[in-house]
Chain A
Amino acid sequence: MDGACLAIKSYVGHALYLAQQGVSLLFAPQVISISHKEYTCPSLLGLPDLLRQYVPPSTEIFAPVLDARKGERALALCYRRLGKTFAPGSIVRQAWNQAHKAQLAWEQSLWLPNDNSQELKVLLIGPRYLTDDPFLSGNIIDRLEGLGMRVYTAAQVRGGRMSPQSRTAGKRLFWSNARQSVGALEHFVDQVNGVVNLAPFGCGAESFVVALVERRARNQGLPSLTVNLDEHTSTLGMMTRLEAFCDLLERKESG
């Protein structure tokens, strides 16, 4: 598949590895939506069907539908329905409550308290599967921190504070990742010194996010760097660009 993005390629790679290990049932949910009135992306919508072309028939693909387009409650129902294929209702409800609580606690632990440190601050945005994955992102968070930057991400924005319709975009963004990127920029725009945007090559939603983010940053006088990632990205080339970007930020700050 030559047109697929980095995420899809690594996903298929993982699945093939698991299939080689002799896995008989592969959990590959069809994630239609993770948030009200939003989609993940067309590639994820068709992912289980795509996987069937690559995984040998000995591995069965278990692809429950996760769909939150009609709200959180609908999503919870999806999970419970999924649980009921394995266990009776009472156990499922208990497991769901536990999982929900654990997820909330983890998300809250990422929320950022106000800090007034003197370090230069960089906002890192992009799809979560890139920013949160050290391998796919070329360990970008550690590298930026190694260069003396304090890195903010979209995960650190308190859930309710992320405005769905920010000043950056006049129309509501209907991809969750895109909305989070743009929302995080809006949230941190007065606090950070620069923005780094990670975008997988060939991602449709990202091509528009890049345009929105660069425009907003330009209007705000905020330096921004867009890093396109694909399977040919070299860590050295990226390192050079990050160093140059950080030098620029430092020079700008010191006047």
Chain B
Amino acid sequence: MKVTFPHMGYAYIAIEALLSGLGHEPITPPPGTRNTLELGTRYSPEEACLPFKTILGNMLEGIELGADGVLMLGGWGPCRLGYYGEIQRIILLDLGKQVEFVTLEVPEGGLPKALGLARRILGPTDVKELWLGCRLAWAKMNAIDELENLALKVRPREKDHGATSCLLAREFQRLRGAATIKDIRAIHQETGQGLLDLVDRRKPPTGMRIGVLGEIYTVVEPFVNLRLEERLGYLGVEVVRTISLPKWVEEHIFQNAFGFYTRRELLRSAAGYLSGFIGGHGLESIARSVDLAQGSVDGIIHIFPLACMPEVVAQGILPQISQDKDVPILSLVVDEHAGEAGFQTRLEAFVDLLQRRVRVCQ
């Protein structure tokens, strides 16, 4: 089966490896563009959130490239993501697209349903290939995550404007083609060194650190957050990530599926502000803000799609944390009408404010 899937940052490199291991041919949709958004918006329910629309756009572009299967994540609430797959399946059906729609989730109905789902996911493959595919996917995802984190530190001090992103994009394409764990390690090491060489030693570190948190898709997908991390990097800010894809996959997919996942640590951090799970990343946003505020960040940016229910609750609580912990928090809402210039202006103003604050404090 030729399988397409939605984008989420550089996750496509790992998903490609996984799908090949499963015995399918991965069809990676083109990276998000205006066209993706227009396609998605045209066929989505009017008030669906931005991730829904871009994901639908990705699927439609993937199907245009010849895919006959679609892979999507699911869930059982209370966040809307759990129902994305079903609505998207119906939309594709009504559009007359003949595709096999597979939603990855813990199915209801016990073992028989789970086996049924496994049979649909598995293509013509053998155990050895499958194992290699899984290992490659995991190694690639981890390598990308580590390199991106390193890039966040390098970008504010790079010699040539944009060199870090250029290097990353080039090396990730090499990583995409890597077929053995050894190759992945070599590329990882080379790229790490390459990134460090980009640092301009004469530039003093600005010391400005901003934590980014919010709804995971808007945090991770650069097309949706208008390349937030890069923009902050060019403003001389080191971005502190609170969300990492490998960790998310480990916790929310593996541990959750087998019932090992606990939110004890998050609940402890969020105590006094939020008493329980509210779906999506609402609890994470609150807990991580408290953690970051106690750490060494100068400010926090909270980003989420318009009308995202859990994050709206978090947005209502964040001002209190900002006041209690004395840390500025900027909430950014994105939807299909988000304009780059307005976005940039707000970021610049926020960074200016933080710089002035630091100077006054000194």
Binds B, one of A44-52, A79-87, A122-130, A139-147: A44-52
**B77 interface residue, CB < 8 Å from A?**
yes
Q: Which residues of A contact B312 (CB under 8 A)?
A: 1, 3-4, 43, 202
Chain B interface size band reads 35 or more
Binds B, one of A14-22, A164-172, A232-240: A164-172
CA distance A207 to B46 in the complex (A): 7
Q: Which residues of A contact B78 (CB under 8 A)?
A: 39-42, 45, 174-175
CA distance A174 to B76 in the complex (A): 6
Q: Assess the B83–A171 pair: CB atoms within 8 A.
A: yes
Chain A interface size band reads 35 or more
Binds B, one of A113-121, A188-196, A208-216: A208-216
**A201 interface residue, CB < 8 Å from B?**
yes
Q: Which residues of B contact A52 (CB under 8 A)?
A: 320
Most chain B beta-carbon neighbours within 10 Å: one of A47, A50, A175, A215? A50
CA distance A47 to B205 in the complex (A): 42
Q: Assess the A50–B317 pair: CB atoms within 8 A.
A: yes
CA distance A212 to B314 in the complex (A): 28
Chain B positions 34 through 55: 1 when the CB is less than 8 Å from some CB of chain A, otherwise 0 = 0000000000011111000000
CA distance A43 to B78 in the complex (A): 10
- Specify which of A32, A42, A63, A172 is in contact with B310 (CB 8 Å cutoff): A42
A211-B273 contact given A1-B316, A45-B78, A50-B313, CB 8 Å threshold: no
- Specify which of A53, A208, A211 is in contact with B316 (CB 8 Å cutoff): A53
**B71 interface residue, CB < 8 Å from A?**
no
Closest to B304 in A: A3
Chain B positions 310 through 324: 1 when the CB is less than 8 Å from some CB of chain A, otherwise 0 = 111111110110000
**B79 interface residue, CB < 8 Å from A?**
yes
Most chain B beta-carbon neighbours within 10 Å: one of A43, A53, A171? A171
**A173 interface residue, CB < 8 Å from B?**
yes
Q: Assess the B49–A204 pair: CB atoms within 8 A.
A: yes
Q: Assess the A3–B280 pair: CB atoms within 8 A.
A: no
Q: Assess the A3–B77 pair: CB atoms within 8 A.
A: no
Q: Assess the A3–B45 pair: CB atoms within 8 A.
A: no
CA distance A115 to B301 in the complex (A): 58
**B160 interface residue, CB < 8 Å from A?**
no
Q: Assess the B313–A42 pair: CB atoms within 8 A.
A: yes
**A156 interface residue, CB < 8 Å from B?**
no
Closest to B333 in A: A3
Which residues in chain B, 288-332, are within 8 Å of chain A measured between CB atoms? Answer: 306-317, 319-320
Q: Which residues of A contact B314 (CB under 8 A)?
A: 46
- Specify which of B48, B74, B76, B280 is in contact with A207 (CB 8 Å cutoff): B48
**B65 interface residue, CB < 8 Å from A?**
no
**B277 interface residue, CB < 8 Å from A?**
yes
**A59 interface residue, CB < 8 Å from B?**
no
Q: Which residues of B contact A171 (CB under 8 A)?
A: 74, 83, 85-86, 103
Q: Which residues of B contact A1 (CB under 8 A)?
A: 312, 315-316
A209 CB to closest chain B CB (Å) equals 9
**B265 interface residue, CB < 8 Å from A?**
no
CA distance A141 to B5 in the complex (A): 44
Q: Assess the A170–B279 pair: CB atoms within 8 A.
A: no
A39-B48 contact given A4-B312, A46-B282, CB 8 Å threshold: no
**B276 interface residue, CB < 8 Å from A?**
yes
Q: Which residues of A contact B80 (CB under 8 A)?
A: 204-205, 207-208
Chain A positions 55 through 75: 1 when the CB is less than 8 Å from some CB of chain B, otherwise 0 = 000000001010000000000
Q: Assess the A210–B315 pair: CB atoms within 8 A.
A: no
CA distance A3 to B277 in the complex (A): 19
Q: Assess the B282–A42 pair: CB atoms within 8 A.
A: yes
CA distance A170 to B74 in the complex (A): 13
Q: Assess the B86–A169 pair: CB atoms within 8 A.
A: yes
Chain A positions 172 through 206: 1 when the CB is less than 8 Å from some CB of chain B, otherwise 0 = 11110000000000000000000000010111111
Q: Which residues of A contact B24 (CB under 8 A)?
A: none
Binds A, one of B87-95, B167-175, B243-251: B87-95
Closest to A226 in B: B46
- Specify which of B45, B74, B309 is in contact with A43 (CB 8 Å cutoff): B309
CA distance A65 to B277 in the complex (A): 12
Chain B positions 85 through 117: 1 when the CB is less than 8 Å from some CB of chain A, otherwise 0 = 111011100100000000100001000000000
A67 CB to closest chain B CB (Å) equals 10
CA distance A2 to B136 in the complex (A): 44
Most chain A beta-carbon neighbours within 10 Å: one of B103, B317, B333? B317
Q: Assess the A208–B77 pair: CB atoms within 8 A.
A: no
A45-B276 contact given A39-B77, A175-B77, A206-B47, CB 8 Å threshold: yes
Closest to A228 in B: B47
**B275 interface residue, CB < 8 Å from A?**
yes
CA distance A49 to B275 in the complex (A): 7
Q: Assess the A207–B275 pair: CB atoms within 8 A.
A: no
Q: Which residues of A contact B317 (CB under 8 A)?
A: 46, 49-50, 53
Q: Which residues of A contact B308 (CB under 8 A)?
A: 3, 204
**B82 interface residue, CB < 8 Å from A?**
yes
Sample (17) of A-B pairs whose CB atoms are under 8 Å apart? A1-B316, A32-B276, A42-B79, A43-B312, A46-B317, A169-B86, A171-B103, A173-B83, A174-B78, A202-B307, A204-B307, A205-B309, A206-B47, A207-B46, A208-B48, A208-B80, A212-B90
**A-B interface, 4 closest residue pairs, ranked by CB to CB distance from nearest:** A174-B77, A46-B313, A207-B47, A39-B78
| Given A201-B47, A211-B45, 16 more pairs with CB closer than 8 A | A3-B308, A4-B312, A30-B276, A38-B77, A40-B78, A42-B78, A42-B309, A43-B313, A45-B78, A50-B317, A53-B319, A171-B103, A174-B77, A174-B78, A202-B306, A207-B307
